[in-house]
Amino acid sequence: MSFLSYLIKGISLGSVYSIIALGYTMVYGIAKMLNFAHGDVIMVGGFVIYTLMSLAGINPLISVLAAIVICTLLGVTIEGIAYRPLRKASSLAVLITAIGVSYFLQNVALLVYGSNPKSFTSVINVPALKLADGKLTITGETLVTIPLCIIIMVILNLFIKKSKVGRSMIAVSEDKDAAVLMGVNVNKTIAITFAIGSALAGVASALMFSTYPNLSSTSGAMPGIKAFVAAVFGGIGSIPGAMIGGVLLGIIQILSSAYISTQLADAIVFLILILVLLIKPTGIMGKKLHEKV
């Protein structure tokens, strides 16, 4: 029974990774860049909820919605100020800028909120579910996280496959120059991609800090890196890949910390990433690259 409980905990954590990984994978798939500041947007979302809910006493739902809106605006602003001017620059320049933005956000948070970690109050007020005579407990956070994650995935997939912006995204990801000549607004499409990814970061911040309530200026960085690993693991650029990669990563992390060692859990996660990349360099759902002769 304890295995089942760990498994559910793993899926729940993995669902959060999936939502974060979507932001990485969509931005990479469409704008061909790695937005390493994505994890820190989650941290900002966490502080927004903390400030509104714990300090100002505003209703949790409104605080979460405000965090989603602020994260969305932040993502679009970062793209507009830091990445858009570098559209024609080398990918290395963009990568370094992304790292710069990441440290900028961390240090602003440090300046505003100080270095003492804040305790985040859960925004989810759902009673835990007790099964099998109380031997298996599923927390309220898990009960909300997993279905929400599935709903987000379904809506996002339908949106990309069957809407104007979705088609523009695929067109931009394949051939920016041809897309612009067909009247597709490339800058707007990339901005919307950042907006969606950052809105999801806002959702992820509410879910993640409700389960792991330790909030500090660096608390977005590690989940960000792990979600990036999940995206690569699943095949970067692929939306179902981000979902599968995220859930697998969550399960691996929880199971290895339960059965092997808590200290080694992260090491095992990254070891598995290395192994996957050695065996299947494009990730689980990644496309095979055929070399044309």
Partner 1 sequence: MEMLSVKNLSISFGGLRAVDSFNITIQKGELYGLIGPNGAGKTTVFNLLTGVYKPDSGIIILDGENISGKSPIEINKAGIARTFQNIRLFKNLTVLDNVKTGLHNQYKYTTLAGILRLPSYYRTEKLMTEKAYDILKVFDLDKEAATLSANLPYGKQRKLEIARALATNPKLLLLDEPAAGMNPAETEELMKTITLIREKFGVTILLIEHDMKLVAGICEKIFVLNFGMELANGLPQDVLNNPEVIKAYLGE
Where does this chain bind partner 1 (CB under 8 A)?
155, 158-159, 162-168, 170-171, 174-175, 177-186, 192, 195
Q: Of the two residues 121 and 187, which places its CB atom closer to partner 1 in the complex?
A: 187
Min CB(151)–partner 1 separation in Å: 12
Determine which helix (DSSP H) or strand (DSSP E) holds 11, and give its type and residue range: helix 2-31
Min CB(161)–partner 1 separation in Å: 9
Quick one: DSSP state of residue 213? -
Using DSSP bridges, classify how beta strands 118-119 and 214-215 pair: parallel, antiparallel or unpaired.
antiparallel
Q: Of the two residues 34 and 172, which places its CB atom closer to partner 1 in the complex?
A: 172
Using DSSP bridges, classify how beta strands 214-215 and 129-131 pair: parallel, antiparallel or unpaired.
unpaired
- Residue 152's nearest CA partner among 279, 20, 8, 29 is 20
Give the C-alpha separation, 18 to 227, whole Å: 7
- Residue 47's nearest CA partner among 112, 125, 141 is 112
Min CB(192)–partner 1 separation in Å: 6
Min CB(181)–partner 1 separation in Å: 5
Q: Of the two residues 145 and 193, which places its CB atom closer to partner 1 in the complex?
A: 193
Q: Which residue has the tokens 């897309």?
A: 179
Q: Of the two residues 102 and 173, which places its CB atom closer to partner 1 in the complex?
A: 173
Min CB(218)–partner 1 separation in Å: 32
Q: Of the two residues 96 and 195, which places its CB atom closer to partner 1 in the complex?
A: 195
